[in-house]
Chains A and B, each alone.
Chain A
Amino acid sequence: MPIVVKRPRLTLAEKCYFPALMKGLRITLGHAIRILQRKKKVTMQYPEVKWDDNLPEHYRGAPALVTDEHDRERCVSCQLCEFICPPRAIKIVPEEIPPGDEWQKVEKRPESFDIDMLRCIYCGMCQEVCPEQAIFLRKDYAITGVSREEMIHDKQKLYEIGGKREGLINKWNKLK
């Protein structure tokens, strides 16, 4: 059943636009005057004034990898984040942890882990999907660089941003 929406019958005043036009002009003028009188302040002068301390808990900045309290890289390169990442910003090459390594029992780790920050849309999907709680969106938002290469965060850079996160899952730390 199609829904029929009746066209409203316009009065003459409405038909000749003028009253509506004046109303519109009044509204915009009102805003302009309010901002000119400095009754309202919305914009922040960015590089001088920053809001870093007020960033909400759920703020989504640059994604980064974290290590656990034993400095073990949490990421086991399951590649779920690579799969889920909508703009395909993540590229992981997994490798086997060689025998003799302290964490050999984890078996797998990323050989390389690149996030292309030119592609990343800061959606947080990677953080959400990660089964190892290894990737988090930090509060860093000013990600800049002068070349494309610079904008690709490699593993080292990602750990640099991410740092250490204690607690969380402990599958690999208990008697195992």
Chain B
Amino acid sequence: MIELSELLVPAIKIVVLVFAVILPMVAYSVWAERRVSAIIQDRVGPNRVGIPFTKIGLAGLGQPISDGIKFLLKEDFTPGHVNKLYFWLAPALTMVPAILTCAVLPFGSELFGEKMVVADLNVGPLFIFAIASLSVYGIVLAGWSSNSKYPFLGGIRSSSQMISYEISLGLSLVPVLLIFGELNLSAIVEEQSENGWLLLPLWGEGAIWNGGWDRFFLFFPSLLAFIIFTTSIFAETNRLPFDLPECETELVAGYHTEYSSMKFALFFLGEYAAMIIGSGLIVTLFLGGWSLPFGCDAALMQMAGNPEQVPWWLGLIHISTFLVKVVGFIIFFIWVRWTLPRFRYDQLMKLGWIVFFELALLNIFITAGIIFLTRSPD
């Protein structure tokens, strides 16, 4: 007999996470994209939409809402020459995996005794890879079912690009998992909270003065893994400088050329959702997830007194920390997009197969070697 609370609590978590956090974040990352790109280009960006019928602009914060309404109200046009079923399925297939993957991301420590993760899987990263690689189907189907040349080329590019970068994505992660010896993302974050972030091993047992020699040597492979992983996330999410599947100068708009209205919006949102999840993953693995730096967590816990129960205010602080880190990464994504020119397709493939693939492979052995040499077998 399952207890009601066992069903209710995850359900609340899902609803709150998806509808109160992820979707607004998606919408607002679009807004952020526009604002950031604007300031980078010496413009202003959307700054007018505020509260309707008033002159209150709120710096354009109403823009995503009006965009959403616009998308919903636009004519949803299905061209006559498309394969209807797959044409309709494709946008959903890009959005769903992106949202699904957030189930295993720990977005906070605990709140009222509940772990702040929807599904505390002990194969977190594997789950993410399994689901995330499904999103390629959305794009391929969109390209193929549109039955027109640009979407088709975009679809093909996208599938080969995603398949290629998935390999370096996966391989670059192996050293991280080796270091933590753990596949549960919550546990990985907790470990970092206590013993220093992967890229900031400056407290707890990770600190060199506390005997964390292994972590000191492992810092360099971790950094390499971080770079490969981040770049691969760029490629996986089809963002500039790797947005070849939809590059408008060659392919009009790539796989979503034939889409309009909300179906187009789903592609759009799917891309941003993937970006948010990608940022979340990077933050979780390399930058300590929800944890505060320099052992503040432990200090605050001590202040709260009860070592078993995380107080609600600290839980909230952790959630905000996570969000701040993710937002920082999103801004980094945007910043990169408005800085770099697009790669050529052959350069992209070369980078994936000849550079990152080898480096990631090498990195595994180096990490394993360091671990073998510095950690005494238990």
Whether A and B touch (Cβ < 8 Å) is answered with yes
Interface residues of chain A, those whose CB is within 8 Å of chain B, are 21, 24-25, 27-29, 31-32, 34-36, 40, 42-43
**Judging by beta carbons under 8 Å apart, are A28 and B44 in contact?**
no
Residues of A within 8 A of B84 (CB): none
CB-contact partner of B39 in A25, A27, A32, under 8 A: A32
Interface members, chain B 316-365 (any A CB < 8 Å): 335-336, 338-340
Interface members, chain B 236-269 (any A CB < 8 Å): none
- The answer to the question of B66 belonging to the interface, with a C-beta cut-off of 8 Å to chain A, is no
**Judging by beta carbons under 8 Å apart, are B40 and A21 in contact?**
no
Residues of B within 8 A of A25 (CB): 335-336, 339
CB-contact partner of A43 in B36, B40, B43, B339, under 8 A: B43
Residues of B within 8 A of A32 (CB): 36, 39-40
Residues of A within 8 A of B43 (CB): 35, 42-43
Besides A27-B339, A35-B39, A36-B39, 15 new A-B residue pairs in contact (Cβ under 8 A), listed by A number: A21-B340, A24-B340, A25-B335, A28-B40, A28-B338, A28-B339, A29-B335, A31-B41, A32-B36, A32-B40, A35-B42, A35-B43, A42-B42, A43-B43, A43-B44
**Given contacts A21-B340, A25-B335, are A31 and B40 in contact (CB under 8 A)?**
yes
Residues of A within 8 A of B335 (CB): 25, 28-29
**Judging by beta carbons under 8 Å apart, are B39 and A31 in contact?**
yes
Report how far A120 CA is from B335 CA in the complex, Å: 38
Residues of A within 8 A of B336 (CB): 25
Q: How many A-B residue pairs have CB under 8 A?
A: 31
Residues of B within 8 A of A36 (CB): 39
A and B contact pairs by CB, cutoff 8 A, 28 listed: A21-B340, A24-B339, A24-B340, A25-B335, A25-B336, A25-B339, A27-B339, A28-B40, A28-B338, A28-B339, A29-B40, A29-B335, A31-B39, A31-B40, A31-B41, A31-B42, A32-B36, A32-B39, A32-B40, A34-B42, A35-B39, A35-B43, A36-B39, A40-B42, A42-B42, A42-B43, A43-B43, A43-B44
Report how far A21 CA is from B339 CA in the complex, Å: 8
What is the CB-to-nearest-CB distance from B142 to chain A, in angstroms, rounded to a whole number? 31
The 10 closest A-B pairs by CB, nearest first: A24-B339, A43-B44, A28-B339, A32-B39, A28-B40, A35-B39, A32-B40, A42-B42, A25-B339, A31-B40
Report how far A24 CA is from B341 CA in the complex, Å: 10
What is the CB-to-nearest-CB distance from B222 to chain A, in angstroms, rounded to a whole number? 17
Q: Select the residue from A24, A27, A36 with max chain B CB neighbours within 10 A.
A: A24
Tally of chain B residues near chain A (CB < 8 A): 12
Do most interface residues of chain A lie in helix, strand or loop, or is the interface mixed? Answer: helix
Residues of B within 8 A of A34 (CB): 42
Report how far A42 CA is from B44 CA in the complex, Å: 9
Report how far A35 CA is from B42 CA in the complex, Å: 6
Report how far A42 CA is from B339 CA in the complex, Å: 20
Report how far A165 CA is from B62 CA in the complex, Å: 47
Q: Select the residue from B36, B39, B41 with max chain A CB neighbours within 10 A.
A: B39
Residues of B within 8 A of A24 (CB): 339-340
Closest residue of chain B to A32 (Cβ to Cβ) is: B39
What is the CB-to-nearest-CB distance from A63 to chain B, in angstroms, rounded to a whole number? 30
Residues of A within 8 A of B39 (CB): 31-32, 35-36
Report how far A43 CA is from B339 CA in the complex, Å: 21
Report how far A21 CA is from B40 CA in the complex, Å: 15
Closest residue of chain B to A21 (Cβ to Cβ) is: B340
Closest residue of chain B to A26 (Cβ to Cβ) is: B339
Residues of B within 8 A of A35 (CB): 39, 42-43
Report how far A28 CA is from B334 CA in the complex, Å: 11
Residues of A within 8 A of B44 (CB): 43
Report how far A117 CA is from B41 CA in the complex, Å: 31
Closest residue of chain B to A46 (Cβ to Cβ) is: B48
Residues of B within 8 A of A40 (CB): 42
Residues of A within 8 A of B36 (CB): 32
Q: Select the residue from A28, A31, A35 with max chain B CB neighbours within 10 A.
A: A28
Residues of B within 8 A of A21 (CB): 339-340
Closest residue of chain A to B227 (Cβ to Cβ) is: A18
What is the CB-to-nearest-CB distance from B284 to chain A, in angstroms, rounded to a whole number? 24
What is the CB-to-nearest-CB distance from A37 to chain B, in angstroms, rounded to a whole number? 10
Closest residue of chain A to B332 (Cβ to Cβ) is: A25
Report how far A32 CA is from B336 CA in the complex, Å: 13
